[in-house]
Amino acid sequence: MPNLNYFKLPDVGEGLLEAEIVSWKVKPGDTVAINDVIVEIETAKSIVELPSPFAGVVAQLMVAEGDTVEVGTPIFAVGSDASTPVAEEALSPAPAAEAEAEVMKPLVGSGPKADAVKRRPRISSAPAVVQVAAASPAPVVTPAATPAPTSSLESAKANRVLAKPPVRKAAKDLGINLADVTPTGLRGEITKKDLLGYQEQRVADQGQVGTFWAPSTASGLADDARVERIKVKGVRKATAKAMVESAFSAPHVSIFVDVDASRTMEFVKRLKVSRDFEGIKVSPLLILAKAVIWAAARNPSVNATWAGDEIIVKHFMNLGIAAATPRGLMVPNIKDAQDLSLKELAIALNALATTARAGKTQPADMQGGSLTVTNIGVLGIDTGTPIINPGEVAIVAFGTIKLKPWVVEGEVVPRWITTLGGSFDHRVVDGDLSARFMADVAAIMEEPALLLD
Amino acid sequence: MGAAQQSASDKNASAHGTGGGGTSRPDAGISAGVLQNNQVGEGDMIQLLDAHGKRQAESTFGPYIDALDAETIRGFYRDMATVRRFDVEATALQRQGELALWVPVVGQEAAQIGSGSAMVPADYAFPTYREHGVALTRGLDLADLLKLFRGVSNGGWDPREKNFHLYTLVLAAQTPHAVGYAMGIQRDLAADPTTEPAAVVVYFGDGSSSEGDVHESMVFAASYDAPVVFFCQNNNWAISVPFEVQSKIPLVNRAGGYGIPGIRVDGNDVLAVYAVTKWALEHARNGHGPVLIEASTYRVGAHTTADDPTKYRRAAEEEIWKAKDPLERLETYLRAEGLADEAFFEQVKNDGDELAAHVRSATLALGGADIRQKFATVYAEAHPLVAEELAWFENYQASFTDNETEQGGAA
């Protein structure tokens, strides 16, 4: 065998113990020069490229993509001439005689992941302990290596969340995925405040379950101490008034349509990784909002107000988004949403949600709405009959999107299905108009490319 | 007052005029005892070569460049390209496990080559840990810089040979040292008037500017008229902390508080940096006291090889600064003015590769660090406690079954 130069995984940070092999940039048989990039690795600190310290021909790649190996582990070998490549050996254990077992240890291991921190074996007087220590590095070799799913990693990279290390640590401790938190930092980074605000909301949502039931002591009648009386005021009062006014003055007609939103899901996925949308949160709600604006232009009477002796049709779209806020239900709207590009609309939706979640929605944000969307899907609900926001004649409820069996060309296939529900004021919007409007919205969800029309 | 710039924008007025909340407090106005607007604004800086490589006229600093011959200006380019090539090699060596850490300089070449070239041999430089370009202008063998980062030396060179101090890793700690050295120069001159006049350049960054040491240094320097130039490379990022957190206004304005001249310069314009540093050094050497220079530049790479800037800043920001690249603009200028031909740029590239090969082989020849040497240099003489600790450590090292040190990189 010709002489091989082995490259051991270095500590590329300060005091790192291991790294994951993200992707190989060469294959056995490739000729490399000094400083040619060989492999991309990810450590706890960063993703970095490792350049070759050797010139020659790549003989072996000794670790599979996706595997995590300790610092000091040989990860590739370079030989001096073209006769050296041993491609098969790259992904299978080499004969133990060829090199010390240490070199050949972590080939295509996909066995149970060991502790992140491994201690160097110590000399001990108890032989049993030595045996255990010696046995532990034995490789668990799976014959068929599954290629690492790099696509998810790629998208994670392209759509990276900005946050400082203490915030990352805090999020990890709290078990919060930073991607779920809306950033408000100067440069789009998630601040500690954002994280704590998110946590507070989460705790408020889930926290009260354990202490809800009070022990049985009395009758259950009005004087029962277990009855909690909540004063109706503020937003609760306003919501109640508006809903009664709407439900009992506008004759509601509700219709529903099931939609295959798979293409919307794909579109959203592509937007998320596109450079143009870097740092902007994109969700299917964005496409729905765009669809509603598009459909309203084709069926203008849904974007109107009933005024008794006249119908006021609005040639602008102040798109309302129903939002659960710390203070209660709010319906702020995006002014002149018809003029916004997809990106601008995404930014506006994010800003609206951030403001609402922070309880900072201003009265002006809620006035002059022309049509409303309520996103009940975020709570996992399929559909419902929404009540129209007073002063408007239509509302669209956006149900959850989940994989369901769907018939495509006679075959049952899993597709991303959602249900759209719409309520309309029958004084203004008749059955056929509401149906056409909903069908238009559904058409966009099925094929967002129609927006290009 | 020297070169301190007056800002055209009336920043104070707008800052005070709009008070938040219902009750509006009257503006302090132009009264005795009220600080008035005397600020260098965001956009103000000395620039002799714009981002497109076009020479700009400037009456105070322009003449310093007019006096230079083509060979000197080509030298600026050669040095910037050399240090950039060196930086690439050192980064690769770190990735190969040959260095524990590296501190990339890419993006700041003009600030370093320009200021370093303005010094004369008798001047003395106090670097941070990123002044690889200044080291080159002082005549160091760049391979020596890597000894510290390989852990084989606490220094790497004799600072007295080229008047280039050892790298300082503790932020801003070099600033009081520099002022003390400058005060020493003053005393040498007083004791022996035939001593060659000299000045000190002390380097620090926007992050260090927030350290108390810098404040104390500037107070002492101003009080004693010490011949020191405070050269701040404001590269906009203190690891992950953006410059806006360090100061609401350009740092140069702080000079006014100490009563010393301040100059804000385009740190990616090597000609402007050279000229303003030359001016400041003459000011200091001639006994007029310290000067603060704020060089506006950008750390294009990571803070160190252990840092990942994509976690705290956007690619778009990096792109904006890459468009202001110091090497590209000087190359454009040299070509447009016919000061350099293709053969020159070819030669610079080849020389850079040669230097890189030298740095690589010199580093690999350094071998590994000897831990005993660390114990041996704690005290000048043998010490029982150190001896005891060394014995404990050796015993500990010997307790492992794999009695080879865990060393990454080339085997």
End of a domain among B364, B385, B402? B364
Residue A142 pLDDT exceeds 70:
no
Inter-chain contacts counted by CB atoms under 8 A, chains A and B: 108
CB nearest to A120's CB, from B92, B402, B411: B402
pLDDT greater than 80 at residue A110? no
Residue B287 and residue B396 in one domain: no
C-alpha distances in Å from residue A343, one per residue of A185, A315, A332, A348, A361: 19, 22, 19, 9, 22
> Per-residue pLDDT tens for B22-60?
456 666 667 778 776 668 888 899 999 999 999 999 999
Digit-coded pLDDT (tens) for B51-103 = 999 999 999 999 999 999 999 999 999 999 999 999 999 999 999 999 999 99
Confidence of residue A231 (pLDDT cuts 50, 70, 90): confident
DSSP 3-state of A197: helix
- Containing structural domain, residue B155: 3-364
User: Do residue B149 and residue B291 come from a single domain?
Assistant: yes
Which positions 128-187 of A are in contact with B (Cβ < 8 Å)?
Answer: 130, 133, 160, 162-165, 186-187
Same domain, B268 and B402: no
Read off the CATH number of the domain in which B113 is found: 3.40.50.970
Nearest to B253 by CA among B44, B46, B42, B40: B40
Higher pLDDT, A363 or B162: B162
Q: Is the Cβ of A230 closer than 8 Å to some Cβ of chain B?
A: no
Model pLDDT, residue B148? 95
Backbone angles phi and psi of A197, in degrees to 5: -60, -40
| Confidence check: pLDDT of A202 > 90 | no
CA B243 to chain centre: 16
A396 three-class SS: strand
Q: Which of B95, B311, B402 is closest, CB to CB, to A12?
A: B95
Whole-number mean pLDDT of chain B? 90
CB atoms within 10 A of CB A173: 8
Q: Are residues B258 and B315 in the same domain?
A: yes
Contact B100/A at CB under 8 A:
yes
B174 and B254 in a single domain? The answer is yes
If asked whether residues B18 and B132 sit together in one domain, one would say yes
Name the average pLDDT for chain A.
80
Q: Provide the 8-state DSSP code for A71.
A: T
Cα of B218 vs its chain's centroid, Å: 17
Same domain, B165 and B203: yes
Asked whether the beta carbons of residue B305 and residue A12 sit closer than 8 angstroms, the reply is yes
Q: In whole angstroms, how far apart are CA B182 and each of A185, A378, B176, B227, B288?
A: 43, 66, 10, 5, 13
Give me the amino acid identity at B115.
Answer: S
Domain count, chain B: 2
B244 min Cα distance to partner chain A (Å): 10
Summarize the confidence of residues A398-415 as an average pLDDT: 92
φ, ψ for residue B380, nearest 5 deg: -65, -35
Q: Which two tokens stand for residue A156?
A: 């994670």
- Are A49 and B95 within 8 A, CB to CB? yes
pLDDT digit string (tens) for A178-196?
A: 888 888 888 888 999 999 9
Distance from the B120 Cα atom to the nearest Cα atom in chain A, whole angstroms: 36
Average pLDDT score over residue span A317-328: 85
Are B132 and B14 in a shared domain? yes
Question: Are B390 and B261 in a shared domain?
Answer: no
Q: Rounded to two decimals, what is the model's pTM?
A: 0.61
Q: Is B190 found in the same domain as B273?
A: yes
Searching chain B, which residue's CA lies closest to the CA of residue A36?
B92
Residues B298 and B349 in one domain: yes
Q: Which residues in chain A are closer than 8 Å to B407, comparing Cβ atoms?
A: 8, 72
Q: Which of A206-210, A378-382, B6-10 has the lowest mean pLDDT?
A: B6-10
What pLDDT is recorded for position B174? 98
Confidence grade of residue A233 (pLDDT, cut at 50, 70, 90): confident
For A288-305, b where at least 16 C-beta lie within 10 A, e where not — what string? bbbbbbbbbeebebbbbb
Whether residue B259 sits in one domain with residue B386? no
Listed as ranges, residues in chain B with pLDDT below 70 are 1-29, 36-38, 402-411
Catalytic residues of B: 299, 303, 312
| Cβ B348 vs Cβ B77: under 8 Å | yes
B397 at the A interface (CB within 8 A)? Answer: no
Residue B128 contacts A where some CB pair is shorter than 8 Å: no
pLDDT of residue A102: 34
Structure-model confidence comparison of residues B330 and A230, the more confident one: B330
Dihedral pair phi/psi, residue A2, rounded to 5°: -70, 160
pLDDT of residue A329: 82
